[in-house]
Amino acid sequence: MSISENRRDFIKKMGVGSLALPLISARKSTSETPKYEGKKLGIALVGLGYYATQKILPGVDASPYWELRGIVTGSPSKIPEYKKKYNLKDQNILNYENYDELKNCPDIDVVYVCLPNGMHAEYTIRAAKAGKHVITEKPMANNVEECEAMVKACAENKVKLGVGYRCHFEPFNLEAMRYGREKTFGEISFINSMFGWRAGNPDMWRLDGKLAGGGPLMDVGIYSINAARYVKNAEPISVSAQFGPVTRPEYFDEVEESVSWHMEFADGTVFTGYTSYGTNIEVLDCRGDKGWFRMSPAFSYGPLKGDTSNGPMEMPVVHHQTYQMNGMGPMFLSDKPLPDHISGEEGLKDLKIMMAIYESAKAGGKKIMLS
């Protein structure tokens, strides 16, 4: 089974099992398209893998703000399908070697980097130097230094740098942010979040330390960290972490199989987290002094589901990437800087926390203070 099939299978199991279907159809669903007939943003997809073609591209197609005008691929056999369907100009079809020719592609305003994590920094910086705005997938890069170099290159070349944090446009997660902001359940003082999936392909790049930067923490644990920060609307002040046991050494000789961690916030809030490539799990559980809310599934493509001490979360089930592209369209059309929450600086904050988690786990659980 390929990585994509494996992830799809997990996502199906988490959210769209046969038992779940009647519930889903009973819930509110929306595909509302904003009314917009102005200038479209030309976008180029960098990498034509699973996430780019199966998730982001349908979002681009469904959003009135965007138009696919370019592709960057190392597989010539993939070109004819996209060239024909999107009427792409030859000059806007690039590969990893001639990528810098982006500077001669005036139709392309934004590139969307959907490559393995360890390639995000290089392809973001080269795009910035070619004068293109960038959206890069999460995690923003493999380490803090790469993130800082990306932020610097985009600033120097006066282009915007966004991170594909789709949950920031998704109704359940937006509602979780609102609960935190408006203290609907009082001050949240305990958060538990777990996100993991069982890997079934020992050849996937996600197990390669150089391409992935780390294991499940970099791939999906990042959602739990990002969620803790957006529910609390604050930054953790310390972390401590422990790696779980390696049960499949043939998979996990370069990246962790699982890691659990603890974060503290200045107001005394405690967060416990777990991420794994061995266990299918996906929860965000937040407890306050006036009640609680719990989402499960919380972060995958959905349908997401949530309950609270006041009753079920009645949020619309949406196509996340369409909402993301609809949300990001006006942000990239505007002359203003991107909002902080989807910016490169936001991606960098998550990376700093993940690196501290690795540092702590490597040191056997030592408490690391975050500056």
By annotation, the residues acting in catalysis are 138, 223
* Residue 278 is a binding residue for ligand NAD (CB under 6 A): no
* Residue 122 is a binding residue for ligand NAD (CB under 6 A): no
* Residue 137 is a binding residue for ligand NAD (CB under 6 A): yes
Distance CA 39, CA 59 (A): 17
Distance CA 87, CA 77 (A): 16
Per-residue contact flags (x/-) with ligand NAD for residues 320 to 349, judged by CB under 6 A: ------------------------------
CB of 212 to ligand NAD, least distance (A): 8
Quick check: 173 and 299 in contact, CB under 8 A?
yes
Distance CA 22, CA 238 (A): 43
* Residue 95 is a binding residue for ligand NAD (CB under 6 A): no
* Residue 200 is a binding residue for ligand NAD (CB under 6 A): no
Beta carbons within 8 Å of 220's beta carbon, 6+ residues apart: 195, 196, 197, 275, 299
* Residue 294 is a binding residue for ligand NAD (CB under 6 A): no
Look-up of token digits 């592609």: 105
Nearer to ligand NAD, 110 or 188 (CB): 110
What are the strands, taking DSSP E only, across the chain? 41-46, 66-72, 93-94, 110-113, 133-136, 161-163, 188-196, 236-243, 258-265, 270-276, 281-288, 291-295, 306-308, 311-312, 368-369
* Residue 273 is a binding residue for ligand NAD (CB under 6 A): no
CB of 127 to ligand NAD, least distance (A): 15
Q: Which of residues 36-55 bind ligand NAD (CB under 6 A)?
A: 47-52
* Residue 318 is a binding residue for ligand NAD (CB under 6 A): no
Tokens at 82, concatenated: 């996209």
Quick check: 196 and 278 in contact, CB under 8 A?
yes
Per-residue contact flags (x/-) with ligand NAD for residues 203 to 232, judged by CB under 6 A: --x-----x-------x-------------
Residues in the site for ligand NAD, rule: CB under 6 A? Answer: 3-4, 47-52, 74, 114-117, 137-138, 164, 166, 205, 211, 219
